[in-house]
Amino acid sequence: MSALIQVNDVWKTYQVGEQQVHALRGLSVNIEKGEYTALMGPSGSGKSTLMNMLGCLDTPTSGRYHLAGEDVGLLNDDALAEIRNRRIGFVFQTFNLMPRYTALENVALPLVYAGSTREKREARARDVLEQVGLGDRMGHRPNELSGGQRQRVAIARALINNPDLLLADEPTGNLDTTTSLEIMALFGEIHAAGNTVVVVTHEEDIAEYAHRVVRLRDGVVAADEHKAPNPA
């Protein structure tokens, strides 16, 4: 069976003035459907570049990236936008919520772009808000919610299209310790329900929740550890 994510000998090179900077240097990694993986690495290791590539926000300079069997490098901008909306759910450190919209409206937004009717998108938004424990906060705007509640809204929005991949970039970076534990427990529940989860983090205690830790250094995979998950 093909992996959900197949990254094969990928290079990413940026031109900075007269100098070429190699952010990824022939990196290869596969992630199977249903895996829970943490990507780690120091500043300059290539983890942000790899995250952007996995999320179809960027494409390789050379090498191949297949997501669910599709060669991402062959797609134009419109096709990349479609794959991001249909196959990938994003969770960001800064939540990226629309301040004037309610939790329900923020969560439903991807379905507006997908062309769903208002009734269908609101029904689905209610379902995922219930799933993340915010059934009683649907009419609240972001400034009326705590940081943890805002991140739950962001997670619900990421789940609304039933994505193949849930990609989280430092999802607890703006949260206190107690709230971070609650959010990571929620990711555990989402994974247990069958979702593929990739978390980008620099925090060892957050990576402990994953079943696999891929460590990057100088644009390549330095270590790939499969382990028992944190029972918390």
Q: Dump pLDDT digits (tens) for 110-144.
A: 888 777 889 999 999 999 999 999 999 999 999 99
Q: CA-CA distance, 196 to 5, in Å (whole number)?
A: 10
Q: CA-CA distance, 142 to 144, in Å (whole number)?
A: 5
Q: What pLDDT is attached to residue 38? A: 96
Q: What is the pLDDT of residues 148-180, one digit of tens each?
A: 999 999 999 999 999 999 999 999 988 999 999
Does the pLDDT at position 72 exceed 80?
yes
Q: Where are the domains of the chain?
A: 32-48+77-226
**Whole-number mean pLDDT of the chain?**
92
Q: What pLDDT is attached to residue 1? A: 47
Q: CA-CA distance, 70 to 65, in Å (whole number)?
A: 8
pLDDT, average across residues 50-78: 92
Helices (H), the chain: 47-54, 77-87, 103-113, 118-131, 147-159, 177-192, 204-207
Question: Quick one: tokens of 170?
Answer: 């430092």
Return the top range by mean pLDDT from 6-10, 70-74, 77-81: 6-10
Higher pLDDT, 222 or 59: 222
CATH topology of domain 32-48+77-226: Rossmann fold (3.40.50)
